């Protein structure tokens, strides 16, 4: 075994690919062109280069890195301006001028280009090659880390995925935009929104909710909170089912459940779609005539792209890794998590409040990074019942271990209903449904309000009250 281990240690580099003799991707001509532009027109080109490239680390040549840093330092610190004399003087003081080739090198560099008009394109080339080199370094380091016997595999995989995902940012410039340049495009987008050409958010299947918050918006964190046994999991599954199969454009969705198995979730979706109480499978009341509804529901659900992850004790790192893969492979457009307080932070945290805060901020960052809405279920503390009784409306302060949840969330909604009413349902109650309210307590980009819903406990389904009249009320399931 020792001989095998030595063999692996010797082969940690891949011959011909990660060879020290093989130079990493670069373009010295583009690097010289950018530096020449900074020398020719320092008043404009230095700002462009610094804003586009950031630091000297994006240059491949160590000479070019040193020169870029010197120009930037003089530009930021000197009141006399940047010219060849000032640069040569600064390089002489640091003992770097002779190493670069003296003043002849600077003069030759100055005459490399005839015009600076293409500096933006040259910067793009430099940044792209720097990205490739960064990717090579990350992959090389990842290979070496794989030989570290002390590192945990899950930790290693998350580190690698995070590093690779962060490389994407190197190819993106964060330009400052003059409002005059964005007015035209923004106004056209407003017109398209008014005319229905642009989708504000993903429709939820509840018209009143769409009207109030604009649907599930990409990059937003939507917190749905309630006390236990109120129906927040059922409402979340209803919303996912609506997005995946009931709207005009079915979409891929992911459901991370920390307290239910994949079979339980699937069975509940089947029963909701078939309009059959789940209890009938266990109490012997299932009717042969209902088999058609059941098979039809299964057939419809087979057409959907609903991905279920029933991992208990999910960490924010594991969530990130799984969500990224689903986004890349299945292009998921909505993520739901049931529920936040059952998740774990990545490391050891001193207090539960800090842990929840880290989880909450991690979920918000995930929504922004993947540019998808994330529906997060959360528990409310007992204070909502202690203060004013079972009928009291929840408030933001009732979020259990709230920490930064209310700060990170773009929308906070409370599901509220009389829990005791469902304990002894009558035939009339099952037919008419139970009154429920969805309270939009926070909406960062819109208005708040209260939506009236109907909850049918036998099939665990919430429906939009204003959409249904007596003629639309579902029939008694016992008829």
> 402-424: per-residue pLDDT in tens?
667 778 888 888 888 876 666 66
Residue-wise DSSP of 152-201: -HHHHHHHHHHHHHHHGGGG-------HHHHHHHHHHHHHHHHTT-S-SS
Q: Are residues 366 and 316 in the same domain?
A: yes
pLDDT of residue 54: 79
Integer Cα distance of 252 and 250 in angstroms: 7
pLDDT of residue 374: 93
pLDDT of residue 386: 60
The torsion defined by the Cα of 115, 120, 124 and 126, in degrees rounded to 10, comes to: 50
Q: What percent of the chain has pLDDT over 90?
A: 10
Peptide bond preceding 292 in cis form (omega within 30 of 0): no
Q: What is the mean pLDDT of the chain?
A: 79
Q: What percent of the chain has pLDDT over 70?
A: 82
- Of 110-124, 166-180, 271-285, least confident by mean pLDDT is 166-180
In a domain, 13, yes or no: no
Q: What is the tens place of the pLDDT at every residue in 35-94?
A: 999 988 888 888 888 878 878 889 999 999 999 988 888 887 765 678 888 888 888 888
For residues 316 and 374, is the Cβ–Cβ distance under 8 A?
no
Q: Are residues 163 and 274 in the same domain?
A: no
For residues 158 and 201, is the Cβ–Cβ distance under 8 A?
no
Q: Are residues 45 and 132 in the same domain?
A: yes
pLDDT of residue 36: 92
pLDDT of residue 32: 92
pLDDT band at residue 122 using 50, 70 and 90 as cut-offs: very high
Closest CA relative to residue 139, chosen from 159, 169, 168: 159
436: β partners: 417, 453
Structure pTM? 0.63
pLDDT of residue 10: 40
In a domain, 14, yes or no: no
pLDDT band at residue 275 using 50, 70 and 90 as cut-offs: confident
pLDDT of residue 476: 47
pLDDT at 384 over 80: no
Integer Cα distance of 434 and 456 in angstroms: 6
Q: Are residues 144 and 231 in the same domain?
A: no
pLDDT band at residue 28 using 50, 70 and 90 as cut-offs: very high
Q: What is the tens place of the pLDDT at every residue in 309-322?
A: 888 878 887 788 78
- Cα-based distances in Å from 436 to 85, 231, 386, 390, 451: 77, 10, 20, 13, 8
For residues 449 and 212, is the Cβ–Cβ distance under 8 A?
yes
Q: Are residues 250 and 369 in the same domain?
A: yes
Beta-carbon contacts of residue 258 (< 8 Å; ≥ 6 apart): 310, 311, 312, 313, 314, 337, 338, 339, 342, 343
pLDDT band at residue 33 using 50, 70 and 90 as cut-offs: very high
Full residue range of the structural domain in which residue 406 is found: 207-472
Integer Cα distance of 223 and 411 in angstroms: 6
Q: Are residues 85 and 220 in the same domain?
A: no
pLDDT at 269 over 80: yes
Structure tokens at 184: 């035209």
Q: Residue 323: enclosing H or E segment and its boundaries?
A: helix 316-330
Q: Are residues 133 and 211 in the same domain?
A: no
Higher pLDDT, 16 or 28: 28
pLDDT band at residue 348 using 50, 70 and 90 as cut-offs: low
253: β partners: 306, 334
pLDDT of residue 168: 64
pLDDT of residue 14: 46
Q: Are residues 307 and 451 in the same domain?
A: yes
Residue 138, domain CATH: 1.10.860.10
| Mean pLDDT, range 106-131, rounded to an integer | 89
Integer Cα distance of 27 and 461 in angstroms: 60
pLDDT of residue 281: 77
The torsion defined by the Cα of 273, 277, 280 and 285, in degrees rounded to 10, comes to: -110
pLDDT band at residue 256 using 50, 70 and 90 as cut-offs: very high
Any idea which residue has 């088999």 for tokens? 291
Q: What is the tens place of the pLDDT at every residue in 144-169?
A: 888 877 777 877 887 787 777 777 65
Q: Are residues 162 and 216 in the same domain?
A: no
Integer Cα distance of 408 and 461 in angstroms: 29
pLDDT of residue 471: 45
| Mean pLDDT, range 369-385, rounded to an integer | 82
Higher pLDDT, 12 or 244: 244
- Cα-based distances in Å from 274 to 50, 171, 285, 286, 477: 61, 48, 15, 13, 11
Q: Is 453 helix (H, G, I), strand (E, B) or coil?
A: strand
Q: What is the tens place of the pLDDT at every residue in 319-338?
A: 887 888 888 888 899 999 98
Q: Are residues 127 and 246 in the same domain?
A: no
In a domain, 193, yes or no: no
- Cα-based distances in Å from 191 to 149, 187, 201, 203, 373: 59, 6, 16, 20, 24
Q: What is the tens place of the pLDDT at every residue in 187-198?
A: 887 787 777 777
Cα angle value 440/442/444 (rounded, 5°): 125
In a domain, 440, yes or no: yes
Q: Parallel, antiparallel, or unpaired for β 334-338 and 374-379?
A: parallel
Integer Cα distance of 408 and 220 in angstroms: 9
Q: Are residues 158 and 254 in the same domain?
A: no
Give the chain's end-to-end CA distance (angstroms, integer): 73
Q: How many domains is the chain built from?
A: 2
Q: Are residues 259 and 372 in the same domain?
A: yes
In a domain, 197, yes or no: no
pLDDT at 134 over 60: yes
pLDDT at 380 over 50: yes
């Amino acid at each position: 075994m020792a001989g095998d281990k030595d063999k692996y240690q010797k082969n940690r580099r891949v011959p011909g690919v990660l060879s020290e003799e093989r130079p990493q991707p670069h373009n010295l001509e583009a690097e010289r062109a950018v530096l020449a532009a900074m020398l020719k027109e320092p008043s404009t080109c230095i700002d462009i280069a610094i804003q586009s490239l950031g630091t000297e680390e994006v240059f491949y040549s160590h000479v070019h890195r040193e020169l870029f840093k010197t120009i930037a330092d003089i530009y930021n610190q000197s009141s006399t301006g940047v010219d060849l004399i000032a640069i040569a003087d600064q390089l002489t003081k640091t003992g770097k001028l002779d190493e670069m080739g003296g003043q002849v090198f600077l003069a030759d560099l100055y005459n490399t280009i005839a015009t600076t008009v293409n500096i933006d394109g040259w910067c793009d080339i430099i940044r792209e090659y720097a990205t490739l080199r960064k990717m090579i370094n990350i992959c090389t380091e990842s290979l070496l880390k794989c030989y570290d016997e002390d590192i945990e595999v899950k930790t290693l995989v998350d580190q690698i995925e995070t590093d690779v995902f962060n490389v994407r940012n190197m190819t993106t410039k964060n330009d400052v935009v003059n409002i005059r340049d964005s007015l035209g495009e923004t106004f056209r987008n407003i017109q398209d929104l008014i005319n229905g050409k642009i989708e504000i958010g993903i429709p939820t299947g509840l018209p009143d909710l769409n009207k109030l918050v604009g649907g599930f918006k990409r990059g937003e964190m939507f917190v749905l909170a309630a006390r236990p046994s109120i129906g927040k999991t059922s409402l979340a599954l209803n919303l996912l089912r609506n997005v995946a199969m009931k709207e005009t454009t079915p979409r891929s969705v992911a459901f991370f459940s920390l307290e239910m198995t994949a079979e339980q979730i699937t069975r509940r979706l089947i029963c909701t779609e078939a309009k059959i109480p789940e209890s009938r499978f266990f109490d012997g009341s299932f009717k042969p005539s209902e088999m058609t509804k059941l098979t039809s529901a299964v057939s419809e659900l087979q057409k959907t792209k609903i991905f279920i992850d029933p991992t208990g004790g999910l960490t924010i790192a594991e969530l990130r890794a799984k969500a990224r893969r689903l986004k890349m492979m299945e292009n998921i457009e909505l993520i739901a998590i049931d529920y936040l307080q059952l998740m774990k932070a990545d490391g050891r945290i001193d207090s539960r409040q800090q842990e929840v805060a880290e989880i909450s901020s991690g979920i918000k960052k995930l929504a922004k990074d993947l540019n998808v809405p994330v529906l997060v279920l959360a528990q409310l503390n007992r204070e909502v019942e202690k203060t004013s009784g079972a009928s009291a409306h929840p408030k933001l302060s009732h979020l259990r271990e709230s920490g930064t949840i209310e700060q990170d969330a773009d929308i906070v909604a409370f599901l509220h209903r009389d829990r005791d009413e469902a304990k002894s349902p009558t035939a009339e109650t099952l037919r008419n449904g139970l009154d429920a309210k969805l309270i939009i307590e926070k909406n960062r980009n819109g208005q708040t309000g209260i939506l009236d819903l109907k909850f049918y406990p036998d099939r665990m389904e919430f429906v939009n009250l204003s959409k249904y009249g007596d003629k639309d009320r579902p029939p008694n399931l016992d008829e």
